[in-house]
């Protein structure tokens, strides 16, 4: 008999062993989650008619200050905006339809009318700016990452949130991408069991560095900006990375040559392998050097099923509704896979309902700090390092 794969499969099928294998493994089904969603689109239902008085800070290269739709939300009143650069400050005033502006965040936070602030400033300032906001008695949502290469800032940030008792949220966009949101709902419903393995990937090819305030992006350690990837584990499960071994790749860009950046960083790309608190493994990466590839994506593989995109493959039969929360009329879903609007809405609703937002300070640091440790590992030729833990019960 021929030993080709096709003939071996036919032979097994004739013996009935193919169906026996499926029975022993459990019946695995592939389900498009679209099929289990409500036929009628969910409508937004207000939880309050109160308007939270907001300040918006930052209108840099990405124009993020106005990109999340706070100015369009029915539960928000924009009191004032700020950017250090006058032209950008004027642009943010126009985009937010706001007539008041301050020359800096440090001045804006002194306005007694403001209850909450969205910080869309340069990454190296995020932790400092958020602590400044909190220490002036205001809730804060920040662009990613939570801290920029500093474990000490991470610890100070946790202590400030605890001390003030105010809401803190990091606006990690992957958490409200359709696939990551669906994975989280399926995980919570038990559709995966424990995750054996997961992947998060952020590819962002650029021939030249993206412009940034005082050049903070130029030559920066790749996994100091990890959260678009790490959300595909932490943002799905709420579990933690416990240790990491990381490989760095030296891309052929001048800013990664010796003396080419302020960080003394030689790596254009970093690929990290983490151990997880579930006993599994997770591969997370930030890559620039793959020409032409720009994508943020991830996959999860569990004991009971797996997902790549929004199709579920596994043994669970009663899958949950995985549609993202409805937005108020007039609030755009926005960029990064329609995640901007849901992130702003989640922060606003958390304040109105007096609850923790989805990506609170503990989840934010669980997504951010592992990347800092991964870079340390890459500099040590992949040495396995322990990841500091941030948890509400321990903090």
Last residue of a domain, one of 127, 154, 172: 172
Q: Which of 27-41, 333-347, 361-375 has the lowest mean pLDDT?
A: 27-41
Q: Does 266 map to a domain?
A: yes
Torsion sign over Cα 172, 187, 358, 179: positive
pLDDT exceeds cutoff 60 at 4: no
pTM of the predicted structure, to 2 decimals: 0.91
Same domain, 180 and 162: no
Between the CA of residue 147 and those of 103, 128, 224, 232, what are the distances in Å? 23, 9, 8, 19
Q: Give residue 82's pLDDT.
A: 98
Q: Is the pLDDT of residue 259 over 60?
A: yes
Residue 203 lies in a domain: yes
d(CA 181, CA 359): 13
In the numeric block, the tokens 């389900």 are attached to 31
Does the pLDDT at position 12 exceed 50? no
pLDDT of 197 reads 98
**Contact 168/252 with Cβ under 8 angstroms?**
no
Whether 271 and 151 share a structural domain: no
19-23, 151-155, 345-349, range with the lowest pLDDT: 19-23
Q: Do 73 and 133 fall into the same domain?
A: yes
Q: Are residues 283 and 165 in the same domain?
A: no
The answer to whether residue 104 is domain-embedded is: yes
Taking the alpha carbons of 67, 71, 72, 74 in that order, is the dihedral positive or negative? positive
Q: What is the pLDDT of residue 34?
A: 63
Same domain, 223 and 372: yes
pLDDT digits (tens, 9 = 90+) for 93-137: 999 999 999 999 999 999 999 999 999 999 999 999 999 999 999
- Which structural domain range is residue 246 located in? 174-325+360-386
Is residue 17's pLDDT more than 50?
Answer: no
pLDDT in tens, 202-254: 999 999 988 888 999 999 999 999 999 999 999 999 999 999 999 999 999 99
Last residue of a domain, one of 172, 204, 228: 172
Instruction: Assign residue 226 the CATH number of its domain.
Output: 3.30.360.10
Query: 3-state class of 71 per DSSP?
Result: helix
Give yes or no: residues 62 and 194 share one domain: no
Q: How many domains does the chain have?
A: 2
> Counting every residue, how long is the chain?
395
Report whether the peptide linkage leading into residue 284 is cis, meaning its omega lies within 30 degrees of zero: no
Tokens, residue 242 = 């416990």
CATH code of the domain containing 103: 3.40.50.720
198 and 312 share one domain = yes
134, exposed or middle or buried, with CB in 10 Å at 0-12, 13-18, 19+? buried
64 and 130 co-located in one domain: yes
Q: Is residue 168 included in any domain, yes or no?
A: yes
Q: Identify the three-state secondary structure at position 47.
A: coil
- Residue 327's contacts (CB-CB under 8 Å, 6 or more residues apart) are 44, 333, 341, 342, 345
Q: Using the 3D structure, point to which of 118, 150, 172 is the last residue of a domain.
A: 172
Are both 163 and 274 inside the same structural domain?
no
pLDDT at 13: 45
Q: Do both 118 and 231 map to the same domain? A: no
Specify which residues 117 forms β-bridges with: 55, 140
Report the chain's mean pLDDT, rounded to a whole number. Answer: 92
Do 192 and 117 lie in a common domain?
A: no
10 assigned to some structural domain: no
Residue 342 lies in a domain: no
- Reported confidence tier of residue 38, pLDDT bands at 50, 70, 90: low
Pairwise CA distance, residues 198 & 174, whole Å = 14
Q: 72 lies in a domain?
A: yes
- 290: in domain: yes
Is the predicted pLDDT of residue 2 greater than 80, yes or no?
Answer: no
Pair 261, 221 in one domain = yes
- pLDDT tens sequence across 54-83: 999 999 888 889 999 999 999 999 999 999
The lowest-confidence range among 74-83, 316-325, 340-349 is 316-325
Report residue 30 CA to chain centroid gap: 27
Res 391: pLDDT: 84
């Amino acid at each position: 008999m021929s030993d080709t794969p096709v003939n071996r499969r036919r032979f097994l099928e004739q013996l009935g062993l193919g169906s026996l294998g499926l029975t022993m493994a459990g019946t695995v089904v592939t389900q498009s989650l679209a099929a289990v969603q409500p036929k009628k689109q969910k409508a937004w239902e207000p939880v309050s008619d109160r308007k939270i008085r907001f300040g918006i800070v930052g209108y840099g290269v990405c124009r993020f200050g106005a990109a999340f739709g706070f100015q369009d939300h029915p539960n928000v009143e924009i009191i004032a905006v700020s950017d250090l650069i006058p032209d950008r400050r004027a642009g943010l005033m126009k985009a937010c339809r706001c007539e008041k502006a301050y020359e800096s965040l440090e001045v804006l936070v002194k306005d007694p009318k403001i209850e909450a602030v969205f910080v869309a400033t340069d990454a190296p300032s995020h932790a400092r700016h958020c602590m400044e906001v909190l220490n002036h008695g205001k809730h804060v949502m920040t662009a990613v990452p939570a801290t920029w290469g500093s474990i000490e800032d991470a610890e100070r940030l946790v202590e400030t949130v605890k001390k003030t008792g105010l809401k803190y949220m990091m606006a990690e966009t992957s958490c409200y991408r359709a696939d990551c949101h669906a994975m989280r709902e399926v995980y919570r419903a038990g559709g995966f069991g424990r995750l054996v393995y997961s992947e998060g990937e952020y590819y962002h090819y650029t021939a030249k560095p993206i412009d940034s305030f005082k050049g903070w992006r130029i030559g920066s350690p790749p996994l100091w900006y990890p959260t678009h990837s790490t959300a595909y584990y932490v943002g799905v499960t709420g579990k933690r990375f416990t240790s990491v071994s990381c490989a760095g790749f030296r891309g052929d860009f001048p800013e990664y040559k010796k003396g080419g950046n302020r960080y003394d960083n030689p790596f254009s790309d970093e690929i990290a392998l983490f151990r997880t608190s579930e006993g599994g493994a997770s591969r997370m990466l930030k890559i620039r050097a793959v020409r032409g590839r720009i994508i943020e994506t991830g996959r999860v593989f569990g004991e009971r099923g797996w997902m790549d995109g929004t199709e579920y493959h596994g043994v669970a039969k009663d899958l949950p509704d995985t549609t993202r929360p409805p937005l108020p009329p007039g609030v755009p879903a926005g960029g990064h896979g329609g995640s901007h609007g849901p992130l702003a809405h989640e922060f606003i609703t958390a304040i109105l309902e007096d609850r923790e937002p989805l990506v609170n300070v503990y989840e934010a640091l669980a997504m951010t700090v592992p990347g800092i440790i991964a870079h340390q590992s890459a500099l040590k030729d992949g040495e396995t390092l322990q990841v500091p833990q941030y948890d509400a019960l321990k903090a």
